[in-house]
């Protein structure tokens, strides 16, 4: 998959008309994700009813890949349990870093439109940031960063 | 959609034969995603022509040994080639003496050398260092480290919206505590050419030495350190057709002699006992350990190559590239050029409305066009001009007018994808 096919209709559409974009009046969990190397940031708020994510919203400043990833993520995890969301987070990260066998069983569904980022090392972080931030929110860490120690993509982006 | 009319391109005098020049750069024949490579990331690092590659091969296949102490043929040859390269660099920047030319690993290393060798010795508590908003992080961070260590203060020359230094403000920053000025000759992010000669004269009238970061100037224009009268001038080999791992610090001999060494080790000493070490004379005092000999020889070949074309011819051709690209870009809707100084090198930083630089960079790459996106190691500039990041196309003398066309067409494609 090449970089052009990454910018597919569905990704461009979610970038232009992001779903669940905005803030929540009442949120039980909240986190802000940063990519300090490009200045992008993402704010994710969600409300848990028992173990269920019953509402979720995001906003922020980011590239199309990040925004579309966040938008599609919110549509997919809404109504799912915390545990299911964590499974998706892990699978998405594995897909983006090339560690997931897409032919084996997984739960990503149409999120596989992002599989192409694994061939674009500098863009992997863009796709992962929303998922990283969701993970932080679910675990009630209020700020996170793509440069966090536990980030598999922890590495400096050079710039000259 | 506007069709690009090639008859609108500026016509060149036959003396600048860009096609003949391009033929000497093997990497320019690459194809990316089955499109011809359009390399517009020259401000980050330039490409290497065959004569420089050949020189590295010749050195490595018939001249290499460690330098200075050997009495055998290869050591003498390597030493002679290394020192010959120093003299080539001396001529390239018109330094008075070859001992004023120190081999470093690059601009960053050169600036750190001045910070440690000069700054730590002569700048103290309450003293002031003047830098500019346009500085690359490499000419900010070392001075912040020094300021923190010594209790000194950094004062910053502001810029206007075009990305030009406010020279009046610069002059008003001087006090009787001003001990040092650091200024970049050409901005890597915006291409602004700064009036360094005038700024140096002003500082000297107050007895203050000036370091010029020439990383983006040395590859693109004639640099004469005696004419500028700068005290230090730093630049990198890899931005001027040379190898990575090599750079230059020019310093006036009388200053270099008064400075303390930066790194301790072999070659920078005359004698060592555990009681006392006597330092070698300049430039060796600042070249501890085995230096990057092959890269130094390669850089000598690179400046021969550039001089063969002529720095004035390079500057004139690159200005035509800049003017043509700027004109083409101004015709694009929803595109804003960041950095519109009256005096510029061939650097175009820009924003496309509604499209993040990362997306532009990835999509241009798919068209074979290599640009850089991000903050370009100048976060204070980005903050001042209120742009989180830009896309930057930076040109070299081996770029062509049709590459400008390919670049502009690439931006149109990006805009089409995002509408
Ligand atoms: C203006 C300027 N100064 C300093 C540097 C640092 O050069 P180097 O990374 O070769 O040490 C660069 C290059 O990135 C630059 O553009």
φ, ψ dihedrals at B396, nearest 5° = -130, 170
pLDDT at A150: 47
Confidence of residue B5 (pLDDT cuts 50, 70, 90): low
DSSP letters spanning B5-61: -GGGSPP--TT--HHHHHTT-GGGG-EETTEE-EE-BTTT-----HHHHHHHHHHHH
pLDDT in tens, B314-347: 999 999 999 999 999 999 999 999 999 999 999 9
Residue nearest to atom 14 of ligand 1 (CA): A160
Rounded distance between C-alpha atoms, residue B263 and residue B257, angstroms: 15
Whether B179 has its CB under 8 Å from any CB of chain A: the answer is no
Residue nearest to atom 15 of ligand 1 (CA): B215
Task: Answer yes or no: do B358 and A123 touch at CB < 8 A.
Answer: yes
Domains B6-49+310-417 and B52-308 share a fold: no
Token digits of residue A61:
């400043």
Decide if pLDDT at B14 tops 60.
Answer: no
CATH class of B6-49+310-417: alpha beta
pLDDT at B322: 98
Whether B376 has its CB under 8 Å from any CB of chain A: the answer is yes
Q: Which helix (H) or strand (E) segment is B394 a member of? A: strand B390-394
Alpha-carbon distance values, A86 to A67, A99, A137 (Å): 20, 17, 11
Ligand 1 within 6 A of A104 CB?
Answer: no
Nearest to B356 among A2, A64, A122 (CB): A64
* A138-147, B178-187, B284-293, range with the lowest pLDDT: A138-147
Atom of ligand 1 nearest to the CA of B43: 16
In chain B, domain spans: 6-49+310-417, 52-308
Burial class (CB within 10 angstroms; exposed 0-12, middle 13-18, buried 19+) of B85: buried
* Residue B49 · residue B397 · CB < 8 Å: no
Cα–ligand 1 centroid distance for B131 (angstroms): 16
pLDDT at A140: 77
* Residue B157 · residue B132 · CB < 8 Å: yes
pLDDT at B277: 87
pLDDT in tens, A61-101: 899 999 999 999 999 999 999 999 999 999 999 999 999 99
Confidence of residue A145 (pLDDT cuts 50, 70, 90): low
Whether B418 has its CB under 8 Å from any CB of chain A: the answer is yes
pLDDT in tens, B188-197: 999 999 999 9
Of all residues in chain B, the one with the smallest CA distance to A65 is B359
pLDDT in tens, A130-139: 999 999 999 9
pLDDT in tens, A94-132: 999 999 999 999 999 999 999 999 988 888 999 999 999
Does ipTM surpass 0.85 in this model? Answer: no
Decide if pLDDT at B107 tops 80.
Answer: yes
Task: Answer yes or no: do B359 and A160 touch at CB < 8 A.
Answer: no
Decide if pLDDT at B68 tops 80.
Answer: yes
Residues from chain A that touch B388, judged by Cβ atoms under 8 A, are: 38-40, 61
Nearest to A61 among B44, B359, B388 (CB): B388
Whether A160 has its CB under 8 Å from any CB of chain B: the answer is yes
Ligand 1 within 6 A of B136 CB?
Answer: yes
Residues from chain A that touch B417, judged by Cβ atoms under 8 A, are: 7, 12
Supply the angle between the helices B357-366 and B401-417 in degrees, to the nearest 10.
120
- Give the mean pLDDT of B249-270: 93
Which parts of B243-389 are beta strand (E)?
247-251, 269-272, 277-279, 335-338, 347-352, 369-370, 372-374
Token digits of residue B315:
């500057």
Task: Answer yes or no: do B362 and A37 touch at CB < 8 A.
Answer: no
Task: Answer yes or no: do B363 and A63 touch at CB < 8 A.
Answer: no
Decide if pLDDT at B20 tops 90.
Answer: yes
Task: Answer yes or no: do A62 and B33 touch at CB < 8 A.
Answer: no
Confidence of residue A19 (pLDDT cuts 50, 70, 90): very high
Nearest to A39 among B44, B355, B388 (CB): B388
Residues from chain A that touch B186, judged by Cβ atoms under 8 A, are: none
Ligand 1 within 6 A of B280 CB?
Answer: no
Considering chain B, what percentage of its residues have pLDDT values greater than 70? 96
Q: Which helix (H) or strand (E) segment is A21 a member of? A: none
Residue of B107, B183, B375, B376 with the most ligand 1 atoms within 8 Å of its CB, for mutation? B107
Query: What pTM was estimated for this model as a whole?
Result: 0.91
Cα–ligand 1 centroid distance for B381 (angstroms): 15
pLDDT at A156: 35
Rounded distance between C-alpha atoms, residue A105 and residue A108, angstroms: 9
Residue A144, strand partner residues: A33
- Give the mean pLDDT of B367-375: 93
pLDDT at A147: 60
Kindly list the catalytic residues of B.
377
Residue nearest to atom 12 of ligand 1 (CA): B215
Decide if pLDDT at B246 tops 50.
Answer: yes
Tell which residue, A117, A115, A150, has the closest CA to residue A132. Answer: A150
Confidence of residue A158 (pLDDT cuts 50, 70, 90): very low
Rounded distance between C-alpha atoms, residue A111 and residue A94, angstroms: 12
Considering chain B, what percentage of its residues have pLDDT values greater than 90? 87
- Give the mean pLDDT of B150-162: 98
Under CATH, which number does the domain B52-308 receive? 3.40.640.10
pLDDT at A36: 76
Domains of chain A plus CATH, in order, are 3-157 (3.90.1010.10)
Confidence of residue B130 (pLDDT cuts 50, 70, 90): very high
Ligand 1 within 6 A of B106 CB?
Answer: yes
Burial class (CB within 10 angstroms; exposed 0-12, middle 13-18, buried 19+) of B162: middle
Burial class (CB within 10 angstroms; exposed 0-12, middle 13-18, buried 19+) of B215: buried
- Give the mean pLDDT of B99-120: 98
Confidence of residue A159 (pLDDT cuts 50, 70, 90): very low
- In terms of DSSP bridges, do strands A143-145 and A52-61 run parallel, antiparallel, or are they unpaired? unpaired
pLDDT at B11: 55
Alpha-carbon distance values, B138 to A22, B134, B182, B263 (Å): 39, 11, 11, 18
pLDDT at B54: 98
Tell which residue, A63, A67, A59, A27, has the closest CA to residue A45. Answer: A27
Task: Answer yes or no: do A38 and B365 touch at CB < 8 A.
Answer: no
């Amino acid at each position: 998959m090449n970089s052009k096919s990454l910018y597919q209709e569905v990704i461009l559409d979610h970038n232009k008309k992001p779903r669940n974009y905005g803030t929540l009046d009442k949120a039980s969990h909240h986190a802000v994700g940063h990519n300090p190397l490009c200045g992008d940031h993402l704010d994710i708020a969600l409300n848990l009813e028992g173990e269920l994510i019953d509402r979720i919203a995001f906003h922020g400043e980011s590239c199309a890949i990040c925004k579309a990833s966040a938008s599609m993520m919110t549509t997919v995890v809404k109504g799912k349990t915390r545990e299911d969301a964590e499974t998706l987070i892990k699978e998405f990260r594995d897909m983006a870093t090339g560690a997931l066998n897409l032919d084996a069983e997984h739960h990503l569904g149409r999120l596989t439109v992002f599989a192409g980022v694994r061939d674009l090392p500098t863009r992997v972080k863009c796709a992962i940031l929303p998922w990283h931030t969701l993970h932080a929110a679910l675990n009630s860490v209020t700020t996170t960063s793509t440069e966090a120690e536990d980030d598999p993509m922890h590495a400096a982006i050079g710039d000259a | 959609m506007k069709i690009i009319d090639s008859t609108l391109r500026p016509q060149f005098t036959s003396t600048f034969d860009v096609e003949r020049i391009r033929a000497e750069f093997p990497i320019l024949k690459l194809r990316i995603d089955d499109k011809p490579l359009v390399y517009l990331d020259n401000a980050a690092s330039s490409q290497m022509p065959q004569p420089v590659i050949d020189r590295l091969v010749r050195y490595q296949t018939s001249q290499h040994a460690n330098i200075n102490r050997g009495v055998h043929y290869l050591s003498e040859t390597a030493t002679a080639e290394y020192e010959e390269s120093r003299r080539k660099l001396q001529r390239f920047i018109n330094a008075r003496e070859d001992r004023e030319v120190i081999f470093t690993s690059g601009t960053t290393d050169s600036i750190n050398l001045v910070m440690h060798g000069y700054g730590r010795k002569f700048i103290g508590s309450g003293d002031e260092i003047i830098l500019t908003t346009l500085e690359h992080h490499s000419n900010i961070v070392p001075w912040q480290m020094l300021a923190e260590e010594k209790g000194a203060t950094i004062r910053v020359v502001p810029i206007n919206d075009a990305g030009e230094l406010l020279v009046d403000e610069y002059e008003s920053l001087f006090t009787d505590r001003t001990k040092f000025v650091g200024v970049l000759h050409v901005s890597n992010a915006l291409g602004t050419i700064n009036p360094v000669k005038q700024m140096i004269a002003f500082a000297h009238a107050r007895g203050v030495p000036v370091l010029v970061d020439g990383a983006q100037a040395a590859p693109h224009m004639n640099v004469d350190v005696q004419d500028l009268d700068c005290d230090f001038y730093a630049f990198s080999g890899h931005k001027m057709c040379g190898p990575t791992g090599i750079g230059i610090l020019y310093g006036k001999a009388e200053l270099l002699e008064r400075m303390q060494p930066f790194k301790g080790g072999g070659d920078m000493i005359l004698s060592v006992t555990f009681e006392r070490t006597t330092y070698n004379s300049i430039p060796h005092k600042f070249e501890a350990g085995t230096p990057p000999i092959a890269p130094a020889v390669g850089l000598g070949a690179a400046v021969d190559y550039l001089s063969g074309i002529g720095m004035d011819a390079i500057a004139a051709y690159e200005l035509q590239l800049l003017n043509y690209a700027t004109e083409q870009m101004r015709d694009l809707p929803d595109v804003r050029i960041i950095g519109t100084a009256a005096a510029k090198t061939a650097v175009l930083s820009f924003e496309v409305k509604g499209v993040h630089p990362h997306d532009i960079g990835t999509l241009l790459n798919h068209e074979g066009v290599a640009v850089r996106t991000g903050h370009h190691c100048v976060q204070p500039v980005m903050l001042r001009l209120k742009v989180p990041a830009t896309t930057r196309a930076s040109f070299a003398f081996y770029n062509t007018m049709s590459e400008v066309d390919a670049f502009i067409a690439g931006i149109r494609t990006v805009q089409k994808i995002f509408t």
